[in-house]
């Protein structure tokens, strides 16, 4: 069965650089969520999209932005990277925002040096 695809799987950046993470949801899933998991921490919700519109916002820094495109894939753009942004970034998708489960991708590990 098709799963959530995230790219790249690993990314190394310098401080103050920018990064773009991509997420390709499971076919026919119209909702995408982004989570950030710091080392040894629980995942924290960043932002979500439903039908290409932002549906909810969590603890996403102003330096980050995201969008969902017409083909439902999503991109998380991160600027002015800081050391503290080093984390595992998960994307999840679900078919609708009503009583359905979220399917997680394998994550992108971002390291900021």
74 is a contact residue toward other proteins (CB under 8 A): no
79 is a contact residue toward other proteins (CB under 8 A): no
Distance CA 79, CA 77 (A): 7
25 is a contact residue toward other proteins (CB under 8 A): no
Least spacing, CB of residue 34 vs other proteins, in Å: 9
Among 24, 64, 72, 103, binds other proteins (CB under 8 A): 103
93 is a contact residue toward other proteins (CB under 8 A): no
Distances (CA, A) of 50 to 26, 35, 38, 77, 113: 14, 15, 25, 18, 34
72 is a contact residue toward other proteins (CB under 8 A): no
Beta bridge partners of 59: none
What are the tokens at 39?
Answer: 């080392």
């Amino acid at each position: 069965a098709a799963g959530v695809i995230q790219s790249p799987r690993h990314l190394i950046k310098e401080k103050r650089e920018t990064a773009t993470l991509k997420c390709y949801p499971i076919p026919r899933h119209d909702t995408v969520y982004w989570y950030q998991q710091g080392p040894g921490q629980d995942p924290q919700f960043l932002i979500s999209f439903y039908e290409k519109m932002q549906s909810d916002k969590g603890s996403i820094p102003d330096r980050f932005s995201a969008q969902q495109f017409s083909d439902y894939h999503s991109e998380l753009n991160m600027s002015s990277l800081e050391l503290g942004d080093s984390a595992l970034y998960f994307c999840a998708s679900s078919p609708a925002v009503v009583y359905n489960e979220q399917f997680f991708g394998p994550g992108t590990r971002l390291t900021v040096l």
